[in-house]
Amino acid sequence: MLKETIRILLVEDQEAHAELISLAFESQNIEVTLTVACDLRAARAILAETSPHLVITDFLLPDGKGIDLLPEVNGSPRFPLILMTSHGDEQVAVEAMKAGALDYIVKSETSFWEMPRTCQRVLREWEHIVMRRRAEEKIRNLNKKLEQRVMQRTAQLEAAQKELVEQAHRAGMAEIAADVLHNIGNILNSVIVSGELIRNKIEDSKFSRAFKRSNEFLQTNMDSLDVKSDLIKKLLQYYLKMYQLFERDNQFLSKNTESLLIKINTIRDIVLDQQNHAYGKNYDDMTSLSEIIEICLDVEKSSLDMNRVTVQKKIAVSPLLKLHKSKLIHVIVNLLKNAQDAMLHLEPERRNLAINLEKTDDNVIVSFTDSGSGISPQNMTRIFSHGFTTKSNGNGFGLHSCAIYMNDMGGSISVESEGRGQGATFILKFPLVDLQGSTKPEKVSLQQ
């Protein structure tokens, strides 16, 4: 948060809304200079003479759209912008975020009252963005100098320069990922709320209860009804069958809604773990490998069913290991996806995936064996390298990230294949850890 008085430009053609926002800042004793403009023309005139810390603007103004206030300097907005609209509209939200707005809110008495806190959050995000831009600019300048020196130095200096660029790139991507995860987390929370509302409606439907009672009443009194028309009798019998169909569909919807919520909550947990990882907060838990495998299979169930993959599991043991749950889910889901992709060219009855979990004296080993396209000998040593892929639409990051995560957890990942068309087996190995904490696994080097 800025220590000086915050300069805010409010572009709002409805005086009552501007007054409510102004009162919100006054009530919370936040030192701000709030300048109000009623249209784009007035706002541009103010921006030509001063540089605000923040712009709050209505989406629709008398002479245009509020996002038109986002002129770009060197491809980046020069100030943070909060966009307001009277009606929630996904298309407007997408347009706003693409244009560079940092937040999008629907006008209401609550959102006006929360505006000071919203502004404080947006300003903090903007400070992070500015810091990242400065860091990226500094890195770009350093790269230019390094490139000039590389031409005159040895191959050892070239390798050092390349490593520096990669580290800087990863640092920048981590900050961008943190922002993306924040937005995804917000959306997932809304999706979970909607899913729970749907589940609750299915489980506690007034129509369903009334339908059931009327059906039970009809079944109980069917024989005592004095119905002479065969057509009416058939209609009543059809009515009874309708409830059976309705109940079956209702159970199907309830089951799949519950499954969907479990998957979404799993995704949210992964996002939260990744956010913690981005900010340097890593939490390892005592984790059951068999439970994690089941979670990953549930996440991929729809895809496995659609691709008609037969999964065979052999879980000999289910030990508890101190592992990072979201990293382990990332690794296993990636292996499940890759196995499916490798078998798509086969006929459905030949698409087989075997998952084995076993324990040795020193390790717990999980293997994933598919009957797919296999790996050629020349690619065996490159399979975990960054950027390497044999897929036309791949990016070469999946298996590389799996190797990094396994290394972070003190384990290892390896692959076996007899060649093209012979399938492949990916092996995850986890050293056994003394549950009392007297021993600790050593990190192993990545397989290249």
Whether residue 282 is predicted with pLDDT greater than 60 in this model: the reply is no
Q: Find the CATH number of the domain harbouring 93.
A: 3.40.50.2300
The CA distances from residue 155 to 80, 132, 176, in Å, are 44, 30, 32
- In this structure, are 257 and 159 located in the same domain? yes
Quick one: pLDDT band at residue 280, thresholds 50, 70, 90?
A: low
Q: Compute the half-sphere exposure of residue 404: CA atoms within 13 Å on the CB side of its CA.
A: 8
Instruction: Report the alpha-carbon angle 396-381-389, nearest 5.
Output: 20
Domain count, the chain: 3
Pairing of strands 320-323, 285-288: antiparallel
Least confident of 26-40, 400-414, 433-447: 433-447
Host H or E run for residue 9: strand 6-11
Q: Does residue 447 lie in a domain region?
A: no
Q: Which residues contact 194 (CB under 8 A, 6 or more apart)?
A: none
Mark whether 214 and 253 lie in a shared domain: yes
Of 259-263, 308-312, 383-387, highest mean pLDDT? 308-312
Q: CA 382, 387, 388, 394 torsion: positive or negative?
A: positive
Please report which confidence band the pLDDT of residue 86 belongs to, taking 50, 70 and 90 as the band edges. confident
Number of H helices, E strands in the chain: 12, 16
Kindly provide the b/e burial profile for residues 56-82, where b requires at least 16 CB atoms within 10 angstroms of the residue's own CB: bbbbebeeebbbebbeeeeeebebbbb
Please give the single-letter amino acid code of residue 106.
V
Of 169-173, 211-215, 260-264, 437-441, which range is least confident? 437-441
Compute the CA torsion angle 120, 121, 126, 129 (nearest 10 deg). Answer: 150
pLDDT of residue 8: 92
- Tens of pLDDT, residue by residue over 314-336, are 987 777 888 888 888 889 999 99
Amino acid at 56: I
Amino acid (1-letter code) at residue 184: I
**409-413-415 Cα angle (round to 5):** 175
Give me the domain span that covers residue 111.
6-124
The predicted pLDDT at position 69 comes to: 85
Residue 438 forms part of a structural domain:
no
Domain annotation covers residue 416: yes
d(CA 244, CA 216): 11
Q: Which of 224, 246, 275 lies at the terminal end of a domain, its last residue?
A: 275
**Of 222-226, 366-370, 444-448, where does mean pLDDT reach its minimum?**
444-448
Q: Are strands 54-58 and 32-37 parallel, antiparallel or unpaired?
A: unpaired
Q: Look at residues 246, 275, 304 and tell me which one is the last residue of a structural domain.
A: 275
Q: Are residues 341 and 376 in the same domain?
A: yes
Q: CA neighbours within 13 Å on the CB side: how many for 139?
A: 18
The answer to whether position 391 is within a domain reads yes
Residue 95 confidence class, pLDDT cut points 50, 70, 90: confident
Winning range, highest mean pLDDT, from 146-160, 357-371, 394-408: 357-371
C-alpha radius of gyration, the chain, whole number: 30
